[in-house]
Amino acid sequence: MSIITFDKVKKTYDDIKVLEDFDLNIDEGEFVILLGPSGCGKTTILKLINGLLKANEGQIIIKNKLISDWNPIELRRSMGYVIQQVGLFPHLNIESNICYTLNLVKVKKDIQHNRAKELIELVGLDESYLNRYPRELSGGQQQRIGVARALAASPDIILMDEPFGAVDEVTRRSLQEEITKIYKKLGKTIIFVTHDIEEAIKLGSRIVLLNEGEIDRDKNKKDFVLSKEKTDYAENFFGSKDFISYLSSVKIAKCLEQKTELNETIEYPLINEELSVLKGIQTCIETQSNLLSVVDDSGKIKGYFIIDSIYKHLLAL
């Protein structure tokens, strides 16, 4: 069921065309990545959804209601919005920052407090952070608070505009893991803007590649990567990065073979089932073996990783 619909939307800045006859349907519960270079219209789409911008022509429907029929304040309060520069209020402690929207709509203080405790844990921080101030937090911790604040009012839609672009690579990977866990747990509709191919493949259930305000490619993650039909623009944009990133995002546990006829006297190289398929391929090359014994954290053999069968398993995902 569509929760967001763009129908023949046109958006220009002065005489500069950003979107022209733009169509897009986003279903409830999807994690949609808007991917593309700077200036392709990604952030404009988010701002149109949030009502920060108005379309010149066409219709935008949010939760079965024309955006023109929404009260702008109610519309924005019904969504979570996370941006690269978090924008926490420096004079408010972390609990007050998280509960800012709840306070505006006069939610009882005890309910706000319980919600803040729930959310601080959800984003991977402990309760002691609630009494701190933004200046006492690292950039990555502030970004986690921004995510918590976006979730405070339990919105159906969460908009994320390159939210992890300003933090270091280690912190970025950690934040990506957290948002993946949150998505799996809560099942919210997330529209996530990025120009980073690896981030797009790692996070999205569906990827929309934009080219100067038009959709070049729109598919679920597996089909996006494995389909042979690509435009020249997509080929030039990705190279082989999409495929490599996909191999990094799939765990070896998804590509197990059960072999009963193996020679039990041979000790095959071991690899943990939680590592990526790309790591499995690398290990095969390093050990000069086309077969690895896959083990769980206790060391029990769960199956085998075999180079020749990878593609079969990837197609079956």
CATH code of the domain covering residue 293: 3.10.580.10
Q: In the chain, how many domains are there?
A: 2
Quote the pLDDT of residue 260.
63
Shared-domain flag, residues 222 and 279: no
Last residue of a domain, one of 189, 216, 248: 248
Shared-domain flag, residues 190 and 285: no
Quote the pLDDT of residue 239.
82
Tell me how far the alpha carbon of residue 123 is from its chain's centroid: 14
Shared-domain flag, residues 101 and 172: yes
Q: pLDDT tens across 232-267, in order?
A: 898 888 888 888 989 998 999 999 988 766 666 678
Last residue of a domain, one of 210, 231, 248: 248
Distance CA 34, CA 54 (A): 19
Alpha helices (H) along the chain: 42-50, 72-77, 94-98, 100-104, 109-122, 139-151, 169-186, 197-203, 221-226, 232-238, 241-249, 277-287, 310-316
Q: Which two tokens stand for residue 255?
A: 């590509």
Query: Could you tell me the CATH number of the domain that includes residue 230?
Result: 3.40.50.300
Shared-domain flag, residues 192 and 266: no
Of residues 317 and 2, more confidence is placed in 2
Shared-domain flag, residues 177 and 79: yes
Shared-domain flag, residues 261 and 136: no
Shared-domain flag, residues 56 and 149: yes
Task: Report, as an integer, the average pLDDT of 185-212.
Answer: 93
Angle between helices 139-151 and 109-122 (to 10 degrees): 130
Distance CA 68, CA 86 (A): 28
- Asked whether residue 277 carries a pLDDT value surpassing 80, the answer given is yes
Last residue of a domain, one of 248, 271, 297: 248
Sign of the dihedral through C-alpha 58, 64, 70, 75 = negative
pTM: 0.86
- Asked whether residue 91 carries a pLDDT value surpassing 90, the answer given is yes
Shared-domain flag, residues 189 and 302: no
Shared-domain flag, residues 143 and 127: yes
Shared-domain flag, residues 122 and 175: yes
Shared-domain flag, residues 192 and 308: no
Quote the pLDDT of residue 241.
85
Structural domain boundaries enclosing 256: 251-316
Shared-domain flag, residues 148 and 282: no
Give the pLDDT band (50/70/90) at residue 122: very high
Contact 203, 192 (CB under 8 A): yes
